[in-house]
Amino acid sequence: MPTLAHYLLVSGGLFSIGLAGVLLRRNILIIFMGLELMLNAANLSLVAFSRFHLHDGLPGYNAQVLVFFIITVAAAEVAVGLAIIVALFRAKQTTHVEDLDILKF
C-alpha cells in the first residue's frame, strides 16, 4: 500500500525533472514541456494531500477542485504559450533560447 511519502517522492521527482528541463534544455518547446511537468507535479502532490488528509472519513475535496482549476488554466496558458512560440519562430526562424537574447543591456 503506497503512503503519502511515496506520492510526494514521485511528485518531487517530476518537479525536479521539469525544473532540470527548464534550466538545461535549449529548445523552447522542451522548456515549455518542462514547465507543464512542474505544474502537474504540483497537481499530483495536491491530490495526494487531499487523499490522505481525511475529514470525518472523507478526503479534503478543496484541493482536488483546485487541481481542476490548475488544469484549466494550464490549458489556456499552453494555448497562449504555443501561440507565442509560433509567432517567435516565424519572426526568428529558430526555437533555440541562445538565439533569443536581444532583450538585454
On whether the CB atoms of residues 18 and 44 are closer than 8 A, the answer is: no
Smaller CB separation from other proteins, 57 or 93: 93
Smaller CB separation from other proteins, 6 or 26: 26
How many residues make up the chain in this entry? 105
- Helix, strand, coil content of the chain in percent (nearest 5): 75, 5, 15
| Residues 1 to 60 in contact with other proteins, rule: CB under 8 A | 19, 22-24, 31
Smaller CB separation from other proteins, 1 or 103: 103
Residues in contact with other proteins, counted by CB under 8 A, come to a total of 13
Binding mask 70-89 for other proteins (x = CB under 8 A): --------------------
Smaller CB separation from other proteins, 34 or 43: 34
CB neighbours of 39 closer than 8 A, spacing ≥ 6?
18, 70, 74
Note whether 103 binds other proteins by CB under 8 A.
Answer: yes
d(CA 105, CA 31): 24
Q: How many C-beta atoms surround the C-beta of residue 46 within 10 A?
A: 19
Residues that bind other proteins (CB under 8 A): 19, 22-24, 31, 97-98, 100-105
